[in-house]
Amino acid sequence: MPDSESPSPSRFRRALGAVGRAALLPVKGASYLARLGKAHQHFFLPVLNGALGDQLAARFDARAIRLSFRRGGQDVAVADLRLTEPHQKTVVYVHGLMGDELIWQSGFSDAPGSRRYGPRLAEETRSRALYLRFNSGLHLSENGRELSRLLTELVVTYPDAIGGLVLVGHSMGGLIIRSAGYYGNQAGIKNEELKIKNDPEQNESSADEFLLFNSQLLINQAPWLAHLRSIFLIGTPNDGSWLEQNSHFTARLLERINLFPTRFLSKALNQRSNGIKDLRYSILVDEDWQDAHANDFTPPRTAVPPLPGVHYHILMGAWLRATRPSALREYFGDGLVGKGSARGHATFGDEAALPAGANVRTAVFSQQHHGGLLTHPEVFQYLKQWA
């Protein structure tokens, strides 16, 4: 045997090494699970709120998340953001169901030193990143109204610091943004409310009262809409979630069978939060879930069209390979959100029905699942180009 060749280990030593590695597997597995749990412990409250957040809020439970800006893992009041850079483009990131603000910044499985969309976009475009956390178990419309209020507080507190406003939402976060736009727009003044009645008998006192009323309307506007430039909807179920539609159908079917086991299963299924239930057809307006027919198979759904003058970007994943049947790829979309729903045919599909000035752009990212849209380099490049 040449000196350059090392003798191969004996069969006994190979077997002994295999036994040793097998013996260490539980230790290594437990260590990995411990690291994984520690890295993801910040998700405990968001997951709990996504599942039961409406019930926690109803009981005034301290674990119920309140919609707020976040910094350093803590809620931050608007007054404490201390924004100083004048007229800076401001990008607000809104997470999805059971998520939190950290999904925009870093991840346990990311390469060391890598950063996600938020910090990278802020650095490479010299924009300002603000991160939001909300209770995803509440109704979409409840979070939408609160987001509109928070954005109003932001631009009123920092009128010189906020330049163009860009909203980026993943999954449910995109629906919260759309609901906020609806309520912000509803807060605007209608022209007929500004008209002073041409009444010759009107005295000075009544005119003063009317002007005071209109002044209050001006105060109650949503001024953040004047700053809004773009909205990015990443993997957003604009027309509803097939998963929740199936859950609703299953719960109703079990209820109608009306046996003790099926009633029990139906009741257990119906414990899911209002936020999850609203995903069935993306209910964005209070009146729809308050309607007596809200639980019907075809419930009422108020149209929430795109805001005029705002650029909408619909970013969606195509999880299945192109070799799969097109109907299958369309239905499953990114694995959690169907392509048709993400595209939002009911809202964005008919260009002729869009309000004047509405601008909608769609991008599809092949072989990307729902969560992968948060780390995909092509998605980041799209944000960098259009944000």
Three-state DSSP at 115 gives: coil
Alpha helices by DSSP H, 187-319: 191-194, 204-219, 242-257, 260-269, 274-278, 286-290
Sequence-separated (6 or more) residues with CB below 8 Å from residue 84: 161
C-alpha closest to that of 168 among 373, 378, 377: 373
- Ordered by start, the domain boundaries in the chain are 8-39, 46-187+222-244+281-386
- The reported pTM is 0.81
Query: Cα torsion at 242, 245, 247, 253 (round to 10°)?
Result: -140
Task: Give CATH for domain 46-187+222-244+281-386.
Answer: 3.40.50.1820
Token pair, residue 289, equals 């879930």
How far is the CA of 155 from the CAs of 78, 170, 181, 306, 353, in angstroms? 10, 23, 15, 21, 31
Q: Cα(352)–Cα(32) distance, rounded to whole angstroms?
A: 54
CA distance 177 to 168: 8
CB 238 within 8 A of CB 339: no
Per-residue pLDDT of the chain (387 residues), as tens digits, is: 455 555 556 666 666 666 555 555 554 544 443 454 455 567 799 999 999 999 999 999 999 999 999 999 999 999 999 999 999 999 999 999 999 999 999 877 777 778 899 999 999 999 999 999 999 999 999 999 999 999 999 999 999 999 999 999 999 999 999 999 999 998 754 433 434 344 444 454 444 443 344 434 444 569 999 999 999 999 999 999 999 999 988 888 888 898 878 887 888 888 899 999 999 999 999 999 999 999 888 899 999 999 989 999 999 999 988 888 889 889 999 999 999 999 998 888 766 566 666 789 999 999 999 999 999 999 999 999 999
